[in-house]
Amino acid sequence: MSSVAYAKSIPVIAEPDVLVCGTGLAGLGAAVSAARQGASVWAVDRMGFAGGFFTNVIGSAFDGFVYEETGRPVVGGLVFEMLERMGVIPPGSGGDHAYNVNGDFTEVEKHPERLIPRCDPERFKRAADEILLGAGVHPLFHTQVADVLVEAGRIDSVILSNKAGLVAIRPKMVIDATGDGDVAAWAGCLYEQAESLQPMALHFRIAYVELTFELRRKCAAVLERARTAGRIGLYGGPWPATFSGRDIYFNAVRTPGDCTNPEDWTQAEIRGRADAWRMFELWQQELPEFADAYFFTSGPTAGARESRRIVGDVTLTVDDIRQARRFDDVIVLGAWRLDRHPQDDAGYHEQPV
């Protein structure tokens, strides 16, 4: 591969205390918390809105914020604030409820008495805007990290790319919440990447269909028959949920690839759309419940379950999770099961532990 030498003077547009790169759940929490502690904070995101998985991919609920066996929340704070702003729970009631693990009807059927923490993407976008601005964070959307300048082992500046061209921010501290460790990797930090990555997924929504437990089983049976007959490739679940009762969100597409490789990510988008439409067409052909349905939307991007893993001072292990080990420098709690989606399997599968 040939190369070009490139040099340019880049304007520094800000010198905040903290720069947060990525405004998914981790970035949103980091930016708001830092600003509420009195720091000047800029938060950048490659999309036109905050939310990460919920808004970029279309997510159904907060995975892992409750203990699965009891439905009781293990975290609160910003999670409850977001649920309140989205109208899911009354103000001040976050700790009073038992919640389903997420909005997937596979889980809802097990515990119908528990509250579903639904996170409609459009409500989430608005709530995220409000909470960022209310905390005094300076958000900058349509902006992504392009490079990192390191001086004496410390990040001096982060180079950003947006419609203004290349610009720089020189913060006192950088928080990498890109989900892929972009800042850390480009700053020279060590990272790991599995040889066999979990598959990417393009989520989608179908309108004018009423989701029931029985329909979930019917949808799964159609895909299983189609897979056996060679009419469809790999898929997962399907794991459906609903935001309004008038449309269904599906987590079902399964595409192998590495999201840090642009070619792989491009193919995941193209193949993901084709697979999503194929599933919809199969359901329309075989299930009367889909007679009036139409393909409402797919997520803005295919989501990645796994990419770079930053090598830190301590590595979280399977035993740490199984034993619910506590650390003195803990900054966040979680309660999600050990969960790995295989690249070469279809349908429902046991969670390997």
* pLDDT tens digits in sequence order for the chain, 353 residues long: 899 999 999 999 999 999 999 999 999 999 999 999 999 999 999 999 999 999 999 987 777 888 888 989 988 899 999 999 999 999 999 999 999 877 777 778 888 899 988 888 999 999 999 999 999 999 999 999 999 999 999 999 999 999 999 999 999 999 999 999 999 999 999 999 988 888 999 999 999 999 899 999 999 999 999 999 999 988 988 989 888 778 899 999 999 999 999 999 999 999 999 999 999 999 999 999 999 999 999 999 999 989 999 999 988 888 998 888 889 988 888 888 777 777 676 666 555 44
The last residue of a domain, from among 163, 191, 219: 191
Strand partners of residue 43: 20, 139
Q: Are residues 75 and 215 in the same domain?
A: no
Measured in residues, the chain has a length of: 353
**Residues 185 and 65 occupy one common structural domain:** yes
What's the pLDDT at 300? 94
Name the β-bridge partners of 192: 309
Q: Which amino acid is at 292?
A: D
Nearest Cα neighbor of 149 from 19, 46, 42 is 19
Q: Which pLDDT belongs to residue 9?
A: 95
68, 300, 293: which is closest to 204 by C-alpha?
300
Alpha helices, DSSP H, located in 23-120:
25-36, 78-85, 105-108
The structure's pTM equals 0.93
Output the pLDDT for position 352.
47
Q: Do residue 21 and residue 164 come from a single domain?
A: yes
Tokens read off for 35: 């600003």
With respect to residue 145, please indicate whether it lies within any of the assigned structural domains: yes
Query: Would you say residue 312 lies in a domain?
Result: no
The tally of domains found in the chain comes to 2
Q: Estimate to the nearest angstrom the gap between the alpha carbon of 77 and the chain centroid.
A: 19
One domain, residues 186 and 223: no
Same domain, 77 and 149: yes
Domain with 51, as residue range(s), is 13-191
CA separation (Å) from 156 to 13, 144, 176? Answer: 14, 17, 14
Q: 24 and 103: one domain? A: yes
- Say if residue 184 is in the same domain as residue 133: yes
**Calpha distance 22→200 (Å, rounded):** 19
**Could you say which of 298, 323, 338 is where a domain stops?**
298
Residues 33 and 174 occupy one common structural domain: yes
Decide if 315 is inside a domain: no
Residue 174 and residue 124 share a domain: yes
Q: Give domain status of residue 276, yes or no.
A: yes
Q: Are residues 215 and 142 in the same domain?
A: no
In a domain, 137, yes or no: yes
Q: What is the pLDDT of residue 346?
A: 67
**29 and 171 housed in the same domain:** yes
Task: Tell me the one-letter amino acid at 95.
Answer: G
Give every CB contact of residue 145 below 8 A, 6+ residues apart in sequence: 21, 44, 158, 159, 160, 161, 178, 182, 183, 186
Domain boundary among 282, 298, 314: 298
- Please tell me whether residues 271 and 127 are part of one structural domain: no
pLDDT (0 to 100) of residue 347:
63
The CATH code of the domain that includes 153 is 3.50.50.60
Decide if 61 is inside a domain.
yes
